[in-house]
A = this chain, B = another copy of it.
C-alpha cells in the first residue's frame, strides 16, 4: 500500500500502510477467536453494544446505528433482519418519526453480548499485547485525530 517507487519519505503514506496492516491482523486474530467459540460475526457484537449502552433502553434508530458504526444503510437493514430472526433485537415503531423505527435489544441479545465479551475482551488484549499500556494510550491519542 504505497507507490512502490521506493525510499521516498512520505510519513502519511507509511502510516496508512501500517494502519491497515495492523487493523487487519488484529481483526483477523480476534475474529478467529470469536469464531472458534462459535459466535456470530463481530459486527453483531458492535450492534448489541450500541443498543445495550445506558440511555438507549428505548432503542436506537437504524439511522443512528449507521452513523455510529460507519455502516451503509442498506447493509444495516439486512443485518438487523438477521439479528431479529435470531431473537437478539426487535423492531418497533418510532413515535417521533413515522418513517423511522426503534431497534431494541432483547434479553437474549444482552446475554449473547455478555458471553461474547468474555472471549472478545481477552482476545483484544492479546492481539494488542505487543503494545505497552503507555503505547496503547499514545495510539489512542493519535488515532483520535482521525476520527
Which residues of chain A in 110-134 are interfacial with respect to chain B, using CB atoms and an 8 Å cutoff? 113, 117, 121, 124-125, 127-131, 133-134
Instruction: Assess whether A11 is interfacial by the CB under 8 Å rule.
Output: yes
Q: Distance (Å) between the CB of A18 and the closest chain B CB?
A: 4
Instruction: Assess whether A64 is interfacial by the CB under 8 Å rule.
Output: no
Task: Check A137/B11 contact, CB under 8 A, given A18-B147, A25-B146, A147-B25.
Answer: yes
Pull 22 A–B residue pairs with CB atoms less than 8 Å apart, ordered by A. A1-B45, A4-B49, A11-B134, A13-B125, A14-B136, A15-B140, A16-B128, A18-B139, A20-B27, A21-B70, A21-B146, A22-B147, A23-B23, A25-B146, A128-B146, A130-B145, A131-B145, A135-B142, A135-B145, A138-B138, A139-B142, A142-B142
Apart from the given pairs A11-B137, A20-B27, A128-B146, 20 other A-B contacts in the complex at a CB distance below 8 Å:
A1-B45, A4-B49, A4-B52, A4-B53, A11-B134, A12-B131, A12-B136, A13-B124, A15-B137, A16-B127, A18-B147, A20-B23, A21-B143, A22-B143, A23-B23, A25-B146, A127-B146, A130-B146, A131-B142, A135-B145
